[in-house]
Structure 1
Amino acid sequence: MLDVLAADSDQGRVYRALTTRGRLSPELLVRDTGLAAAEVAKALVELAELDLVVEDSGLWEAAPPERAVSAALRSEEARRRELWRAGAELDRLYHQAQRGAGWTRHVEPVGHPARLITLTTRLQERAVEQVRWLDRPPYRSTPQNFRAQEEIQSRRMAAGVRYRTVYSQNVYDDPGLFTAMTRMAELGEHVRLLAELPVKLTIGDDEIALLVPEPDRTGLEGALVVHSSGLLNALCGLFETLWTLALPVAAERKQDQLSDRDRSIITLMAAGATDEAIARRLDLSRRTVVRRIAALLDQLGATTRFQAGVQAAKRGLL
């Protein structure tokens, strides 16, 4: 839904041409947008399904922009509701497992945080297709742990194992973790960002997961190993839901990239951080943050903070 508001997306180009030029034929849309005929045709079909364009006698006309904005806002609200729903479902499943309601043989306690590190290494070594990660505070890793993780992850990615990680925005608070994240993204890790994550979670293929269900209250104590089961399937589903909701962070740096400070501002902004939180995290004044956000919205042609994040991500600027 947000594609129609992105000026550089196919839907956005076609919709903007129709809103600014009036009724147009597909041939004129090809000329005005610079897209191929097949791309224009596909965008028109998608926009028609969203009820944002109509066709009459071979000419296409845009619906009022207010309809597109309203639909985008509804989509974003639905996205947020789905995030909370996923977290609530995980909480229900966790407490069901704690009560031993049919899950006991599939769930076992880790026992000690040091064993969690050993199990994390073993999970990655045994993964054949992919490792999925929800990474949120508390962070207890030492420089030695960072190096060890980078070594195994680099080796496993070179062997064809795909890594996908959703980081909490708190990654900006930990210089060591942020540096490690950047290096791994440059080596091929697929990275996304969310304002908040409900748990710490690592999944190896669809075979095993390491879950820290209450990291704020118990730290790494209370970690669980989850074997193939309905609970593991639910955890995989939770990851995929959060992955869909998260904001992509591109490792590739383009010539027209944002400054490091602006990249940090817009990533935190799109992830849901307030002006005050951004100022604290980046050690800036609130006035500076407000001024830079206004400039970034203008630079990206965006009208909302979330849309600015989407635009920057689509252009590979994050």
Structure 2
Amino acid sequence: MLDVLAADSDQGRVYRALTARGRLPRDLLVRDTGLSAEAVDGVLAELSEVDLVAEVGADLWEAAPPERAVAAALRAEEDRRRELWRAGEELDRLYHQAQRGAGFSRHVEPVEHPARLIMLTARLQERAAEQVRWLDRPPYSSTPRHFQAQEEIQARRMAEGVRYRTVYSQNVYDDPGLFAAMTRMAELGEHVRLLSELPVKLTIGDDEIALLVPEPDRTGLEGALVVHSSGLLNALCGLFETLWTLALPVSVKREQDQLSDRDRSIITLMAAGATDEAIARRLNLSRRTVVRRIAALLDQLGATTRFQAGVQAAKRGLL
């Protein structure tokens, strides 16, 4: 997947270094990006294949114009959406197959109570050796004490080197406390992205175990499942990665031309698919104000569509 516009990706680091500094040799790319020489070589090879960088001299590299990267991202968007639907269909098939006990009974077990789901979520994080992946959306049943305990676990595990990647639904803007917690964790190193809607609640520890709430809108946290290594777990990992590529990167880094907090919220929500009316409700603004600010933001970012505005803002590190 093309990830060159994401500032926290290896592709994004290399591409940004080249666009910011012009032509650079490999050793300076290693220095500027903080990546290993092997990682830089791999990224250069990947970006060369899609004509986003070119070797213009002996070990001297140059980036293609950013407009080409944006165009490539836009062309890839429809392909990614089709892949999302395919992943969802496969997930649905495997889920119902598991429910019928057709070969998955030893890999899937029900969670009897929301309190046990909270306990299992903590255990999954404690046992993760490399990464925790999360699709975070309502409904929530945790108490303030549980939320505080979750923050403490996550902060400690990230400090110990476990990578957290979370895709939040745009409902995160409805809850000031949850939004503040997301910001705190992002400042500590969580990789955060936003999508207008998420189909399930999901937490994955490494590639070993997952906690799935398959129908949160209909049943709340009832019907949650523990999924061990199996075809279903592989499908869940694939579903997460598809949604991750579709989601909009969100950064808490401050830059000189940083958007205001209100404009950051507006552009993040609109790029994630929210309507003008939905943005107005979530941010307690009038629809007229939202329409006026969106027009100004599109002009400021040189974009003609909401998705393009989101890509441009993310590329500049404004979100």
User: TM-score, normalization: structure 2?
Assistant: 0.80
Structure 2: distance between partners of 1:261 and 1:204: 34
Could you tell me which residue of structure 2 aligns to residue 102 of structure 1?
A: 103
Equivalent residue for 1:258? 259
* Counterpart for residue 132 of structure 1: 133
Aligned residue for 1:316?
A: 317
Question: Deviations 1:223-249 (Å, cap 9, x if unpaired)?
Answer: 000111111111111111111111110
> Is structure 2 residue 36 aligned with structure 1 residue 35?
no
Instruction: Please tell me the residue identity of whatever aligns with 1:106.
Output: H
Any idea what the Cα deviations from partners look like across 1:169-196, whole Å, max 9, x if unmatched?
1111111111110000000111111111
SS at match of 1:133: strand
Radius of gyration: which is bigger? Answer: 1
Superposed, 1:154-193 pairs within 5 Å as 154-193=155-194
For 2:83 and 2:25, the matched residues in 1 are separated by 33
Change (3 A) 1:296 1:128: same
Q: What does 1:237-256 correspond to in 2, within 5 Å?
A: 237-256=238-257
Q: Which secondary structure state, in structure 1, belongs to the residue aligned with residue 106 of structure 2?
A: helix
Letter in 2 for 1:197: L
Question: Residues 11 and 224 from structure 1, CA distance in 2 versus in 1: closer, same or farther, beyond 3 angstroms?
Answer: closer
Whether the 8 Å CA contact 1:143–1:176 is kept in 2: the answer is no
Task: Specify the code of the residue in structure 1 equivalent to 2:113.
Answer: H
Sort the Cα spacing of 1:292 and 1:9 in 2 relative to 1 into closer, same or farther, 3 A. Answer: farther
* Structure 2 residue aligned with 1:57: none
Question: 2:124 — aligned with what?
Answer: 123
Alpha-carbon contact 2:271-2:310 (below 8 Å) kept: yes
Change (3 A) 1:37 1:176: closer
Q: Is the 8 A contact 1:83 1:241 kept in 2?
A: yes
Q: 2:208 aligns to what?
A: 207
In structure 2, the residue matched to 1:151 is: 152
Please tell me whether the aligned partners of residues 84 and 239 of structure 2 are also in contact (alpha carbons under 8 angstroms): no
Q: 1:151 corresponds to which letter in structure 2?
A: E
Percent of pairs identical after alignment? 82
- Give the secondary structure class of the aligned counterpart of 1:128: coil
Measure the CA separation in 1 of the matches of 2:177 and 2:188: 17
Query: Do the aligned partners of residues 70 and 189 (structure 1) sit closer, same or farther apart at CA in structure 2, a change above 3 Å counting?
Result: closer
Please give the secondary structure, in 1, of the residue aligned with 2:194.
strand
Match of 1:218 in 2: 219
Gaps of 5+ in 1: 15-29, 52-61
2:231 aligned partner, one-letter code = G
Equivalent position amino acid for 2:244 in 1: W
* d(CA) in 2 for partners of 1:130, 1:272: 28
* Residues in 2 aligned to 1:70 and 1:92: alpha-carbon distance in whole angstroms: 34
Q: Residue by residue, what CA displacement relative to the aligned partner does 1:116-135 show, whole Å, maximum 9, x if unpaired?
A: 00101111111111111000
Kept in 1: contact 2:279–2:290 (CA 8 A): yes
Q: Which amino acid aligns with 1:36?
A: R
The answer to whether residue 295 in structure 2 is matched with residue 294 in structure 1 is: yes
Contact in 2 for aligned 1:191/1:249 (Cα 8 Å)? yes
**CA offset at residue 256 of structure 1?**
1.5
1:160 & 1:248 partners in 2: Cα distance?
Answer: 21
One-letter amino acid of the counterpart of residue 261, structure 1: R
| SS across alignment from 2:255 | coil
Q: Which amino acid aligns with 2:92?
A: D
- Could you tell me how far apart the structure 2 residues matched to 1:152 and 1:10 are? 32
Deviations 1:59-116 (A, max 9, x none): xxx9xx9x99987654322222222222222111111111111101100000111100
Given that 2:136 and 2:168 are in contact with CA atoms closer than 8 Å, whether structure 1 keeps it comes out as yes
Q: Provide the C-alpha distance between the structure 2 equivalents of 1:150 and 1:3, rounded to a whole number of angstroms.
A: 30
2:87–2:235 CA contact under 8 A, matched in 1? no
Q: Deviation per CA, 1:240-277, whole angstroms, max 9, x where unpaired?
A: 11111111101212122111110000000110111111
TM-score calculated relative to the size of structure 1: 0.80
Partner SS, residue 256 of structure 2: coil
Q: What is the CA RMSD across the aligned residues, in angstroms?
A: 3.4
1:255-305 residue CA offsets vs partner (Å, 9 max, x unmatched): 221111100000001101111111111111111111101111111111211
- Over 3 Å counting, the alpha-carbon distance change for 1:141 and 1:175 in structure 2 is farther
The one-letter code of the counterpart of 2:84 is L
Contact 1:300 1:308 in 2 (8 A): yes
**Partners of 1:317 and 1:68 in 2: CA distance:** 17
